Structure 1
Amino acid sequence: MRTIAHRAGAMAALAAIALLAGCETQPDHAFDRALGSTAVAPAPAGPSPARARAQGLFAAPALPPLARNRESYQPIDSNPVRLAAEHPVSTFGVDVDTGSYSNVRRFLNAGTMPPADAVRVEELVNYFDYGYARPADAGTPFAVTTEVARTPWNPDSFLLQIGIKGYDIDRADRPAANLVFLVDVSGSMQARDKLPLVVQSLKMLTDQLTARDRIAVVTYAGRAGTVLEPTPGDRKAEIRAALDGLQAGGGTAGGAGLKRAYELAERARIDGGVNRVLLATDGDFNVGVSDVGQLRELIAAKRRTGITLTTLGFGTGNYQEALMEQIADVGNGNYAYIDGLAEARKVLVNEMSSTLFTIAQDVKVQVEFNPAKVAEYRLIGFENRVLKRADFNNDRVDAGDIGAGHTVTALYEIVPAGGRGSVDPLRYGTTGPAAVSPDAAEFAFLKLRYKLPGQDRSRLIEQPLAASLLEGSGSIEASADLRFAAAVAAFGQILRGGEHTGGFDYGDVLELARGARGDDPLGYRAGFLTLVDLARGLQGS
């Protein structure tokens, strides 16, 4: 389970589990208060769905304002600028989720700007691969790459890019998978972008499985039901028939469905394999048992036994993303939003190993900045993954997991010592640690902790960051991958209000991204350019 460190995260997680447990149906405003979430505002005028389709995107249907107001998101406050002399250490857990990117795309395709809290910048950045070097073998599950370059939106600062690349698994060598598809078939799932898309998506995943694997199907509406007992993955006709027979209607007994899914996962457990429940829903739970503690313990207990939970979000109008993300965190899994068949193929086919097969658990990052070289810094994104400094060495504190082949990118904006920052130093000094000698050879020290799957003790990777990287980066052009990552980070920050990006606008993002598109065999980067253009059109910029 990834630790939720946002100031509202703990309360939101508790409320999310309460809803999963199947609390009585609440009015919309009560639901939003329970999650501490923000409702989606009515859409401004913008491109029609027809225009989005003409640009080669999956366009979500336009939503009436009242339906939109039922969507909810966990509030996010952007990370502040920190003075290195006062707060030299930054610690966070990794985040491999990408659901925010496809959800933002859904809004833009429908001619609507996304609400700020729907935009998690790190998930936008991590949607893309940046060509990081792969680890040589599974002994060290990932390799670390760093780069420093001038910040595109601020000539007085630099970007530090930290890239983590997990080792990948050949399909022939992957572990056997025991999967339970837990499908919401309640009345809210009737729309074409919900249950019909769920069925098509799960068929795609089914096609990737073999006789070694096991698939079961559980549904929940007014009550939970087993549609398919654990079945070998090569019996595809049976699995497809079970999926084709799903129909939406009734309430949402999410708690009962989850219990049934875990029971089947336990019954078909594969020792040494992947044992996972895949929950496909719009997140609108409202009927079931009300014992929050019992259900919370169920999820935690199953996680400890190696049965994890992945959430796949679908649909528009009443989408409860805060709930979906929190459930994935509690279940030690990952969260993705499926806005069309292309995204289903990306998550469940192209990146199946990343989605299903964990190679490192509780991955934490800690960066200590040298105040003699760095005046101030800001972590871009990861707001709900921030950890306390002491949490880094505490193996009982959970953090994010990394799947096979996963890429994780973190960006810091830093101002060198003596540079033009945004925070004045204290007049009477600081009680923080004394700065090291100004001629020190390092501007920062990077540490990563992780556990191999099934182990309780973490391992440590350490890497000093040479001061020459920071001092010489002003005259060296950034790599195409860093420029593209910077463009995506700028886009996300502008969507959230542009507090730290100054006059940098969507046109600047387009220019930066076009020059860094590079090799794009699957067209993901081209799709990003289209989204930026849509946002620019909606804003009239």
Structure 2
Amino acid sequence: MAHRLRVLFLTTVVAAQTGAPAGARSELAVSDGPTPEACAALGFQVQPTADSYAAPRHFGGVAASQVYPAPLAPPPPAAPIARSKAEVQELVVTGGRIGGKARAEPRRVVAPVYQAYPSQPMDTERYPNAQANPIKRVADDPVSTFSVDVDTAAYSNVRRFLQDGQRPPSDAVRVEELVNYFDYGYARPEDRATPFSSYVALAPSPWSGERQILHVGIQGFDVPRAEAPPLNLVFLIDTSGSMMGPDRLPLAQKSLSLLIEQLRPQDRVAMVAYAGSAGAVLAPTDGRQKLKMRCALGVLQAGGSTAGGQGLALAYALARQNYDPKAVNRVILVTDGDFNVGIADPSKLKDFVSDQRKSGVYLSVYGYGRGNYNDTMMQALAQNGNGTAAYVDSLQEARKLFRTDFTKSLFPIADDVKIQIEFNPAQVSEYRMIGYETRLLNREDFNNDQVDAGEVGAGASVTALYEITPAGAKGSSDPLRYGRAAPATGGGGELAFLKIRYKLPGQAKSQLIQRPITQAQLSPTLRAAPEPTQWAVAVAGFGQKLKRDPRVSDAFGWNDILSLAQSGRGADPYGERAEFVQLVRLAGGAWAAGEN
């Protein structure tokens, strides 16, 4: 049944977005790659290959319809990159920094051909283990503080599991990343100097009778492309053996080709590849030389172990060597996160990228593959490297990230963005934040400009949901016999107070936006709430059901999520909401037994 639903879903979505009839070839073609002859004229030896990308599908753990590229004849070996002992020591990463004077000497190299990497078992994927947020009493802890999260990796990864007929591991479901996958149409700010507008709504909870859902959103200023600063990018490409397979290196190459299409003459790209060791593949090249960039991508082949730490060191060194204070300086890492040579400990890599973010170089992490995907590593890098994380499960997702959301992904409008909400104990007795378990901050961190937080790109939005218990309603625990006296009435009709703190790019001092949250934002029923709120609550309910969160009543079932999503679906120019509805149907159909 899952197989039939998946095939119907894929052909329907592709037909809707491309105008092709259902059943037509589902591959969304990227422009044809460069010819071997054209690349040879530029010094790159690219082997011709057929377009053989087809995402592997797993139904009940059994792979089906996997198509892998035909083996390539090995190209002539590249000249070795000679370095003295001292130079090698200069590129050794120790703990959280590069020792000595790190150098990056860009050279054209042809990646060596290795023997096939052993296939990975299906149970080696790794995810951060984060405990669900507890219900908090406002009388004891009235303030909630967190770093924003614009990552979307969890949504596309969850989609991959569901479309493969599998239930995702609970730790793979980060509810805030599911919610933030979607655009909610918040009103956009008009002033670049104040780069955020805010949205607030309140409605009854659909899974807990006496509680309410507080919906908070912020919308970032959308920088016109003509006014966006230049890009100084370093592609850091994992070419280890674990990147074999059509949903790994070949898909990563097509993804980066989509990004290359968007470059302007003033933008620059350098490339570093790493397997058992790291080497520069392309010196900084301006956006007019797209053929040269594609040829550099075309020489890459997968094989060997994974010296990810060494690759990161070289990529950052290259970014600093060509640093432009007027540009967006960013390392773009494409990998499955399976680091197994050199620095492979997420905590040590966390120290390293934390140190590197002080140089003003951003980090974007794009995950690929399945079976050995290391989400723990990806999150450690993105959250500590002034960066973002996404998971690319298909060429369609690559188009969203590198074409539709290009400016959101690459052009930051604010750094260290934090949100703090103070609840009024006269109006609210309890609250529970839905998601953001790995993004929580201490109350005092909000005003501390030394504490790192998330970046927000041009035109991006951030959404957060709280489940709150109004004062006087039955709470999750009995009141204390000898506790504090009931809070005095105060704050007028204010339920809470919202604060947003951020830094403009390149600035060290933060700025503040604030506003009250009042009863005026309350809708009498969830169906009477604005469409963005209905949709956000549907997605949050979906995520919590996948996680089997006990705070979500069993009476709130998959059909309720489906009905709520249909009611709040609204505009859907890219078919993303239609896709979500199909995912709800897949989940409800697969696990209907024993669940609603």
Instruction: State the TM-score, normalized to the length of structure 1.
Output: 0.87
Q: Structure 1 residues 330 and 54 mapped into 2: Cα distance closer, same or farther (>3 Å)?
A: same
Q: CA deviation at 1:76?
A: 2.1
Root-mean-square deviation (Å)? 2.1
| Aligned counterpart, 1:348 | 402
Contact 2:350 2:380 in 1 (8 A): no
Q: CA deviation at 1:389?
A: 1.2
Q: CA deviation at 1:295?
A: 6.0
Q: Structure 1 residues 151 and 133 mapped into 2: Cα distance closer, same or farther (>3 Å)?
A: same
3-state DSSP of counterpart to 1:329: helix
Asked whether 1:529 is paired with 2:525, we answer no
Contact 1:47 1:538 in 2 (8 A): no
| Aligned counterpart, 1:118 | 172
Q: CA deviation at 1:270?
A: 2.0
Q: CA deviation at 1:54?
A: 4.5
How does 1:279-294 map onto structure 2 within 5 Å? 279-288=333-342
In 2, Cα distance between equivalents of 1:385 and 1:133:
25
| Aligned counterpart, 2:210 | 156
3-state DSSP of counterpart to 2:186: coil
Contact 2:350 2:381 in 1 (8 A): no
For structure 1, the 5+ residue unaligned runs are: 1-44
In 2, Cα distance between equivalents of 1:290 and 1:248:
19
In 1, Cα distance between equivalents of 2:413 and 2:439:
19
In 2, Cα distance between equivalents of 1:100 and 1:344:
15
How does 1:319-330 map onto structure 2 within 5 Å? 319-330=373-384
| Aligned counterpart, 1:489 | 540
In 2, Cα distance between equivalents of 1:474 and 1:190:
51
Equivalent in 445, 461, 474 of residue 497 of structure 2 = 445
Q: Structure 1 residues 497 and 239 mapped into 2: Cα distance closer, same or farther (>3 Å)?
A: same
How does 1:4-43 map onto structure 2 within 5 Å? none
| Aligned counterpart, 1:85 | 139
How does 1:297-376 map onto structure 2 within 5 Å? 298-376=352-430
Contact 2:154 2:174 in 1 (8 A): yes
In 2, Cα distance between equivalents of 1:457 and 1:121:
31
| Aligned counterpart, 1:243 | 297
| Aligned counterpart, 1:499 | 550
In 2, Cα distance between equivalents of 1:449 and 1:532:
35
1:452 alignment partner AA: L
3-state DSSP of counterpart to 1:334: strand
In 2, Cα distance between equivalents of 1:118 and 1:298:
25
3-state DSSP of counterpart to 2:369: coil
Contact 2:266 2:286 in 1 (8 A): yes
In 1, Cα distance between equivalents of 2:525 and 2:351:
52
How does 1:61-80 map onto structure 2 within 5 Å? 61-62=57-58, 63=61, 67-80=121-134
Asked whether 1:479 is paired with 2:530, we answer yes
| Aligned counterpart, 2:103 | none
Q: Structure 1 residues 395 and 439 mapped into 2: Cα distance closer, same or farther (>3 Å)?
A: closer
| Percent identity for Structure 1 against Structure 2 | 50
In 1, Cα distance between equivalents of 2:205 and 2:346:
46
In 2, Cα distance between equivalents of 1:146 and 1:228:
47
In 1, Cα distance between equivalents of 2:481 and 2:393:
52
| Aligned counterpart, 1:405 | 459
3-state DSSP of counterpart to 2:146: strand
| Aligned counterpart, 1:510 | 562
| Aligned counterpart, 2:444 | 390
1:444 alignment partner AA: A
2:144 alignment partner AA: S
In 2, Cα distance between equivalents of 1:389 and 1:378:
16
| Aligned counterpart, 1:469 | 521
Q: Structure 1 residues 56 and 412 mapped into 2: Cα distance closer, same or farther (>3 Å)?
A: same
3-state DSSP of counterpart to 1:278: strand
Q: Deviations over 1:373-409 (max 9, x none)?
A: 1121111111111111111111111111111111100
1:446 alignment partner AA: L
Greater helix content: 1
Q: CA deviation at 1:288?
A: 2.3
3-state DSSP of counterpart to 1:359: strand
How does 1:424-463 map onto structure 2 within 5 Å? 424-430=478-484, 435-437=487-489, 440-463=492-515
Q: CA deviation at 1:436?
A: 3.9
Does 52-61 or 455-464 show the bigger shift? 52-61
Choose 1 or 2 for highest CA Rg. 2
In 1, Cα distance between equivalents of 2:367 and 2:558:
28
In 2, Cα distance between equivalents of 1:141 and 1:210:
24
Contact 1:52 1:110 in 2 (8 A): no
3-state DSSP of counterpart to 2:507: coil
Higher relative contact order (CA 8 A, sep 6+): 1
Q: CA deviation at 1:137?
A: 1.2
3-state DSSP of counterpart to 2:455: strand
Q: Structure 1 residues 342 and 436 mapped into 2: Cα distance closer, same or farther (>3 Å)?
A: farther
